[in-house]
Structure 1
Amino acid sequence: MRQVRFDGSFEGWRKAARALLGEGVAPHRLEWLAGNAVGGLFDQDEAPAPGSPLPNIRIPRQLLDELQSAACFRSADRWSLLYRVLWRVVQGDGAARLAGDIDGSELHARLKAVRREAHHMHAFLRFSPSGVDSAPDYAAWFEPAHDILLSAAPHFAERMGRHSWLIATPEDAVLWDGKTMHYAKPCPQAWKQLAQGAQDPGAELWKAYYESTFNPARLNREVMQSNLPVRFWKNLPEGPLIPQLMSRARAGAQRDGQAERVASQPGKRIAGQVGARRDSD
């Protein structure tokens, strides 16, 4: 089996893939090694006898966009799947891009997972003032399941105006200086420390508001954890409150239409279950 070593980027993979297509090397004869990855014990770096060359290779722009997005999905076989789909399409097998095909189905599932992770980042990332004069105005720490930082970060540049900011993850980071996006992989240790150490002075006020507006009568644990996965709780200001609020709801607070400290105040009591039924009518 031929080992293909490249830098681990999509552009690096694309360059290698185009050369292999030109040589006519089939997917099953390749092992993709990104960065410092180690190959199989019995695999060889030497190239085998080339297959039938493919002249005049033309790759649809839409397919390249799909492959680039799917390349963000973290999986041991991410690069081999991309080459297999690319090989089949170049060979004239357009079914490789369809959801009903075994490869196409996996491709679509990965595209969906990457889009969802980008949505999670846009929804659950929290900036805090850095508090350091020589640092960006705001900093945030995020732990994505896939490599979506570089593609998802422009969302924040459009919304933060001229403020500078930093987003650091365990793998990489982006810094916006108000005009230009700077990307670093791996994430510099100093950036990690800045992002993880930033404190929001309004966090306590936000947690008080979150707790007071929590409606135990409307709690649906499965839906909540689907929309706000548990893995994000630890990096949200309100994260430590969520298990407590859910526990209170299970212990009987669901009979109230308000959080406990609100329900205990003088005034007319709102029946949680009745209110929930009326709103759903």
Structure 2
Amino acid sequence: MHHASFDGSFAGWREVARNLVQHGIPPHQITWLGNNDSGGLFDQAPISLTSTVTNPAPRIPKQLLELLQSAAHFRVEDRWSLLYRILWRVAMGDRAAMLPGDIDGSQLHKRLKAVRREAHHLHAFLRFHPRPEDAEGPQLVAWHEPAHDILASASGHFAERLGRTRWLIATPDDGVYWDGQRLHYQRPCPSEWQRMAQTPEDTGEALWLAYYGSTFNPARLNRSALETSMPVRFWRNLPEGPLIPQLMSQARAGAQRDGQAETVARQGGKRIHHPNAKPPPINENDDLDRPD
């Protein structure tokens, strides 16, 4: 086995992979090493790509490169091996490797689906916290723990929606800072960014928690649906996350009969019925002609 070293980025992998295909080195002879990975005990010396090659550069569909770049965000030990195997097969004329029905293509499309879903999770479950008005740097900060490397590609969503507001998102691996005009991406994430994101000074959080708890409807609780739409792994990084188990426990303990939060149910006054609620049944003994 030979090992192919690169900087751990898709651009770095693409450059090395192109040269490997031109040198005619098949996938089963390569171990991919990105960043600080080290080779195995019986690996041969790193592949030298300085020798002259006579093979033409492979003609690869643009669509395939886009698919491979997206799939590269999927965190798994053999992420680069699968990508090179598909690249090699397509370069050799076997375009079935790109299709969901193929053994390699199936894995590719499963990874693409997981990456898209993780980007959706970033957009749906990230919570920004405001910083003091006199603080320098970002005005909003957020901490997130994605399962895949989607921060760089998916964070532009917030730049489009927050305009010139300066914000920062930090993760255990990387971080991105929007200065109001352009994105600054760092990998690994600077420790100062991580500190700001994990220890926000949000004076309005108590108000948000009170609002969230008061609008919770225990009568409509469906635990399995909740955990499907909002995976449990995100709860600890949501301000309202610690409230959710408590609210579910109250619902199971009888709060469902009220159809509203316990603190709201204890309030006095007339109940307001939902406009779509069915009217009460008419008693056959009622005199419909009797005036009120």
- In the superposition, the TM-score normalised over structure 2's length comes to 0.88
Which residue of 1 is the match for residue 175 of structure 2? Answer: 173
Matches within 5 A, 1:74-153: 74-131=75-132, 133-153=135-155
Name the SS of the counterpart of 1:159 in structure 2: helix
**Residues paired across the two proteins, number:** 273
1:22 corresponds in structure 2 to 22
How far 1:265 moved relative to its partner? Answer: 2.3
Other structure's SS at 2:141 match = strand
Which residues in structure 2 correspond to 1:1-281 (within 5 Å)? 1-47=1-47, 54-131=55-132, 133-267=135-269
Q: Distance in 2 between matches of 1:56 and 1:191?
A: 42
Q: Which moved more, 1:77-86 or 1:98-107?
A: 98-107
Instruction: Sort the Cα spacing of 1:43 and 1:36 in 2 relative to 1 into closer, same or farther, 3 A.
Output: same
CA separation of 1:53/1:222 partners in 2, compared to 1, >3 Å: closer, same or farther?
farther
Distance between the aligned counterparts of 2:104 and 2:110, measured in 1?
Answer: 10
Match of 1:278 in 2: none
Contact 1:24 1:53 in 2 (8 A): no
Give how far 1:86 is off. Answer: 0.8
| One-letter identity of the residue aligned with 2:136 | S
One-letter amino acid matched to 1:198: P
Alpha carbons of 1:133 and 1:271: their partners in 2 closer, same or farther (altered >3 Å)?
closer
Q: Give the aligned residue type for 2:119.
A: A
Runs of at least 5 residues in structure 1 that lack an aligned partner in the other structure: 276-281
Aligned-residue CA RMSD (Å): 2.2
Provide closer, same or farther for how the CA distance between residues 253 and 270 of structure 1 changes in structure 2, counting only shifts above 3 A.
farther
**Does structure 1 retain, via aligned residues, the 8 Å contact 2:4–2:46?**
no
Higher mean C-alpha deviation, range 38-47 or range 62-71:
38-47
Secondary structure in structure 2 of the residue aligned to 1:135: coil
> What is the CA distance between 1:185 and its match in structure 2?
0.8
SS in 2 for 1:175: strand
Shift of 1:25: 0.8
The unaligned stretches of length 5 or more in structure 2 are 278-292
- Contact residue 164 and residue 175 of structure 1 kept, 8 A: yes
Aligned residues: percent identity? 64
Instruction: Report the CA distance between 1:134 and its aligned residue.
Output: 2.1
| Partner SS, residue 161 of structure 2 | coil
CA distance in 1, matches of 2:43, 2:243: 51
Q: How far is the alpha carbon of 1:269 from its aligned partner?
A: 6.1
Given that 2:4 and 2:47 are in contact with CA atoms closer than 8 Å, whether structure 1 keeps it comes out as: no
Q: What is the distance in 2 between the residues matched to 1:208 and 1:53?
A: 70
Residue pair 1:257, 1:271 contacting (<8 A) in 2 also: no
Q: Secondary structure at the match of 1:28?
A: helix
Look up the SS of the partner of 2:148 in the other structure: coil
The structure with the largest alpha-carbon Rg is 2
8 Å CA contact 2:3, 2:45 repeated in 1: yes
Q: Which has the higher helix share?
A: 1
Q: Distance in 2 between matches of 1:191 and 1:112?
A: 30
What per-residue deviation string (whole Å, max 9, x for no partner) do you get for residues 250-275 of structure 1?
A: 22222231111122223566899x97
Distance (Å, rounded) in 1 between the aligned partners of 2:129 and 2:170? 12
Tell me the distance in 2 between the aligned counterparts of 1:120 and 1:42: 41
Q: Tell me, yes or no, if the aligned pair for 2:18 and 2:57 is still in contact at 8 Å.
A: no
Q: For residue 279 of structure 1, what is the aligned residue in structure 2?
A: none
AA aligned to 1:127 is F
